[in-house]
A and B are shown apart, each in its own frame.
Chain A
Amino acid sequence: MSAPFFKFGLFGDNISLVIAFLIGIGFGFFLERAGFGSARKLTAQFYLTDMAVFKVMFTAIITAMFGVFYLGWIGFLDISLIYLTPTYLFPQIAGGLILGIGFAIGGYCPGTACVAVSTAKIDAVVYVAGVIFGIFVFGEAFPILKGFYNATPMGQITLPQLLKMPYGLIVFFVAIMAVGGFAGATWVEKTMAARKGVRQP
């Protein structure tokens, strides 16, 4: 085992900030490449005319998922040292729904809004101001929300642990699901394009 490098003390806190900046550059670069600096491109996902959000997101998820799995398998990466956000089921379900509503209304999510700001989208600047306001509202309301925020804790649990199934099998299932999803998404795009063509010749 020699990775994660930071956890094995290969570099300190200050270097880690430089690395954070470099990794952020990669993240922002590919978000913009994908077209995610455009709210119209992002929200087209929710009108089924352009499924790029789904395709990009799940390609990224299965790429990193396979990488983590195989690097763990060969003994290079200690997966238990990677930080996993603990599960608090109900607040995460509620948060996901609220965030999804905000995504459809606002047109971005926080990461994509950053690259939209970089490419001079005025609505993204206003959106980011909204995110900051929303976090402030949450912070001020925290004493009231605290009970629900900490409800239904399940710890740092993964799907293989929950389902009591082998890690590799779940990885395989997720990959199969994603590939099926990609085919479905492309079919939906074609169907919607054909329908549009009929209505607006």
Chain B
Amino acid sequence: MSKETNSSVIGNSGTLGTGKTARGPKPYSNPYAAGFGLGLVLLAAFVIAGRGLGASGAFSSLVATAAHAIAPQHTAANEFYAEYLGEGTRSPLMDWLVFEVLGVFAGGLISGALAGRIVKSIERGPSITNKWRLIFAFLGGSLMGIGAKLARGCTSGQALTGGALLGVGSWAFMLCVFAGAYATAWFIRRQWK
């Protein structure tokens, strides 16, 4: 657990673990305990469904569905959208990953509510404005969307799932995620510090 000394008023994570908050949110789980739980969920997905976890794929289904509703001829001619739209016999939103991600929202809500961590806030360091933080959030999200599609999966579908299955591309991907993030971190340190 981090023991941040310069905790900001924005977000409550900075003060967690210091024992200063009497009535505030509960501290986070031990990382190994949470990781073990996550690993069992992933294993359950393998055993029950024969596939792992994911996240970005659900957003792809959403984008493809929306694009198809607006311009059906355009999406039919595009192989990327066509893959998510399927045969057209069934809504592309009736999809495994879409339901799994709805569950992720619900699971986060349950855990957050139990721990008293549902607090409306903008997560940022003390030396950046809310406006810039939100600009960076959108920019980072956009890069994430492009990167995840290029790599055929994100941290969940590639790193976690493919990592546990020892996929070659997944391990190459995982190393590059850390490399990319560490290479960038210094340049945007003012956002968090």
Q: Which residues of A contact B (CB under 8 A)?
A: 3-7, 16-35, 37-41, 43-47, 49-52, 55-65, 67-68, 71, 77, 79, 81-89, 91-124, 126-140, 142-143, 145-146, 148-149, 154, 156-162, 167, 170-171, 174, 182, 189, 193, 196, 200
Contact = CB atoms under 8 A, between A and B. Distances in A.
A182 to B, nearest CB: 8
Given A88-B169, A94-B150, A60 B42 contact: yes
Contact of A68 (B117, B120, B164, B184): B164
Given A60-B42, A61-B160, A110-B155, A139 B64 contact: yes
B140 A105 contact: yes
Contacts of B165: 65, 68, 79, 82, 84, 158
B80 A142 contact: yes
B92 interface: no
Interface of B: 1-6, 11, 13-14, 16, 28-29, 31-53, 55-56, 59-60, 62-64, 67, 78-81, 94-97, 99-112, 115, 117-125, 133-134, 136-185, 188-189, 191-193
Q: Which applies to chain A's interface (DSSP): helix, strand, loop or mixed?
A: helix
Given A41-B13, A67-B43, A31 B38 contact: yes
A40 to B, nearest CB: 5
Given A92-B152, A109-B55, A196-B5, A33 B123 contact: no
A25 B107 contact: yes
B137 A130 contact: yes
A148 B63 CA distance: 22
Contacts of B78: 139-140, 142-143
Contacts of B138: 106, 126-127, 129-130, 133
Given A85-B158, A134-B148, 4 more contacts: A87-B172, A89-B172, A127-B138, A133-B138
Contact of A21 (B13, B62, B99, B142): B99
B143 A105 contact: yes
